[in-house]
Amino acid sequence: MKKRHLPPFNALRIFETAARSSSLSAAAEELGITHGAVSRQISLLEDWLGQPLFMRQGQRSVATEHARAFAAEIGASFDRIGDAAVRFGRTPATRVVKVNTQTTLAMRWLIPRLPAFHALHPEIEVAVATSNSTETKSLAGFDVLIRTEPLDKPEWRYFDKRPLFQEQLTLVAAPALLIGQPLHGLEDLAKLVFVSSQTRVGEWERWLEAAGIGELRPRRFQRFDHYHVSLQAIIDGLGVGIGGLPTLAHDIKQGRLAAPFPIAVKGSSYAIWVPPDVDKSRPLCEFLQWLEGEAAAEQQEPPAT
């Protein structure tokens, strides 16, 4: 292997800066070093090359013609080194905001909106974990928690609480189901399957009472253990269900769900909880501000009954 015959790298870096600057003093200011340090490194490089690189013009030292050509070559080489460092080095560190939220809210509300946040703040990574736990010991290490209220355990009182939104519960169904079995009136619901979950007990009964059809019975009930599973069944056309807005606003906007009746009842209230020991960094504050803005922009859903 051929041995490379290279000048001192630091002297090259300082010389390249000085050659494209208006003076050695300007180069020293750009590099954050003294005028004497610049002069010493240039002298070192001149000794190595065996010829002068600067000449005096009045009170200034000016790069010679061949020195300017040499500096252009060095600058291009530095650019290539910088590009290689980016391509083959580690990705520049990003600030990670760690969020823990309930599964349905993560899948249906938060995750569909994250591309908009990343477009505004590409340097901030949002790491999402899902959990329904309210045991604060098991939730250590998170910057933001989103939970439904109330959280009455004493340890939650030390968290910084910020209201997010209150769900408005309404009837939801897959558009394809409504095409095949149109709902001309509330009484037509008796022909359909009612989808529900064991984790959201009583929502069907409350909505039917608000609609004035508390005695209506469906073709059958189809129950699932978790709410996010029942929502998927509704999207797939198994039956109709009760869903919360704005949690499902994205699914409605994308045409996966429809809300055929303007009847709603109050559902769960969601809140942001920030642990007391979290670093209130700029990325965290920007994420919290964005969350609150997204929730505020969607408070135009049907009024609760």
Q: Which pLDDT value is given to residue 211?
A: 96
Quote the pLDDT of residue 303. Answer: 41
Give me the pLDDT at residue 17, please: 86
* pLDDT of 23: 78
Best CA proximity match to 227, nearest among 102, 48, 85, 76: 102
Q: Measure the CA–CA gap between 147 and 54, rounded to whole angstroms.
A: 68
What is the pTM assigned to this prediction? Answer: 0.66
Q: To the nearest 10°, report the CA torsion of 161, 165, 166, 171.
A: -150
Give the residue carrying structure tokens 């922009």: 297
Q: Report the C-alpha gap between 169 and 148 in whole angstroms.
A: 14
Q: What is the pLDDT, as a whole number, of residue 2?
A: 61
Which pLDDT does position 32 carry in this prediction?
Answer: 84
Q: What is the mean pLDDT of each run of 10 residues along the chain (305 residues)?
A: 76 86 80 86 89 84 86 85 65 76 95 95 93 82 91 86 95 97 96 94 95 94 94 97 96 96 95 90 94 85 43
pLDDT of residue 110: 97
Q: Which residues is 54 bridged to in the sheet? A: 63
Domains in the chain with CATH codes: 9-88 (1.10.10.10), 95-166+268-297 (3.40.190.10), 168-266 (3.40.190.10)
pLDDT of residue 305: 39
Taking the C-alpha atoms of residue 270 and residue 245, their distance in angstroms, rounded to an integer, is 12
> Which residue(s) pair with 144 in the sheet?
99
Label residue 18 left, alpha or beta by phi (over 0 means left) and psi (-120 to 50 means alpha): alpha
Our CA angle for 216, 197, 102, nearest 5°, is 140
Distances (CA, A) of 261 to 90, 124, 200, 265: 53, 40, 20, 12
**Residue type for position 90:** R
